[in-house]
Amino acid sequence: MLRPREAVRSLPSYHPPLAGRNGLRLDFNENTVGCSPRVLERLRQLGPEELACYPEREPVEARVAAFLGISPAELMLTNGVDEGIHLLCETYLESGDEALIVVPTYSMYRIYMMAAGAQVISVPAGKNFTFPAEELRSRITPRTRLIAIANPNNPTGTVATERQLLQIASAAPAAAVLVDEAYFEFCGQTLLPSHREFPNVFVARTFSKAYGMAGLRVGVLVGDSEQMRAVRRVGSPYNVNAVALACLPEALVDQEYIAQYVSEVQQSRTRLERVFEAAGIRFWPSHANFVLAGVGSTKEDSAAFVENMRRRGILVRDRSSDHGCEGCVRITLGPRQQADRLLTALHETLEELGIGQGASRS
């Protein structure tokens, strides 16, 4: 009888709740208004030839490299950061190797690591979800081959410092250290170009979040050029589709659009955090386009909150099943008018469910 590999049989399945997302979508950390109009214009111009031909990644990689101030040999465009994570697992992990993550964090690290047959070691975040630099370092062994760190982290919005990350990288020279900067634009802190000094460091970026192109599936993986040669060997030559490749240069050119969106989201984030503070609700100050908040102490509390918000047309994400997040929800921010809608609904939900001291409108 045909049987999947042992590592695959024991994999948990990950089903993001995408079905029936009717309402203001503050549940997946996407851009809530969409991509630059320049991208839409390029989409309208696509012709049959562009779709008939196999996509050529290299010319667009050269554009992205110039944008990042690195050479094309140091990067690879990927089918979202997800594929970048997958490729690193396939490139560096042998069955039985150790791979380290900090929990709570982005779910796909564990899944790809496990699929490669690695033993995943979860290091709990410190108090208030601070980056557990010392604890993580103490878990590095000669069998550690991959360490994945989201910076800022999802779902907590917390960050590790450059110093902490580089200390991890130098303590584990035989391990690939992935610093996933999916939320870079909202935070501004980057490890680039440290991959030149630390050839085991990889930095990932995405066009799914600030750039509003999650549906096109495109991300970037950056690393030492020698290492990237190995990673490229694992990937498909056609991993990023022609539509995404056609749109990406337009998205990059329109930095004004990104800056404006990011600035509005940051203002909305401050407003939401102030409301939580005034209401005496636990939250973790965020460096990303979302905020994690404790709306109770059980998963029933967070489920009731999510459902109450959904009835008011606002979708937010229950994070109760994440490590240390019982009773927590994660709320994505959008521009001002969406924040107005969010805060109105939040105020009503808090009042109806008797959470906190009642949120004041702001």
Ligand X SMILES: Cc1ncc(COP(=O)(O)O)c(C=O)c1O
Site residues, ligand X (CB under 6 A): 29, 80-82, 106, 150, 154, 180, 182, 206, 208, 214, 219
276 vs 290, beta carbon nearer ligand X: 290
Shortest distance, position 36 Cβ to ligand X, whole Å: 17
- The number of beta carbons lying within 10 Å of the beta carbon of residue 358 is 12
Pairing label, strands 314-315, 290-294? unpaired
Q: How far is the CB of 32 from ligand X (least distance, A)?
A: 14
What is the closest distance, in whole angstroms, from the C-beta atom of residue 115 to ligand X in the complex? 16
Bridge-partner residues for 204, per DSSP? 180, 221
d(CA 46, CA 242): 10
CB-wise, 156 or 349, nearer to ligand X? 156
CB of 30 to ligand X, least distance (A): 8
Residue 356 is given by DSSP the state: T
Nearer to ligand X, 279 or 306 (CB): 306
Tokens 């320049």 belong to 38
Least distance to ligand X, CB of residue 351, Å: 31
In order, the DSSP letters of 188-242 are ----TTGGGT-TTEEEEEESSSTT--GGG--EEEEE-HHHHHHHHHHS-TT-S-H
Q: What one-character-per-residue DSSP string does 242-257 give?
A: HHHHHHHHHHHH-HHH
In the bound state with ligand X, the residue whose beta carbon lies nearer, of 132 and 219, is: 219
CB of 359 to ligand X, least distance (A): 26
Q: Hey, what are 154's tokens?
A: 């999802």
Residue 312 half-sphere exposure, CB side, CA atoms within 13 Å? 21
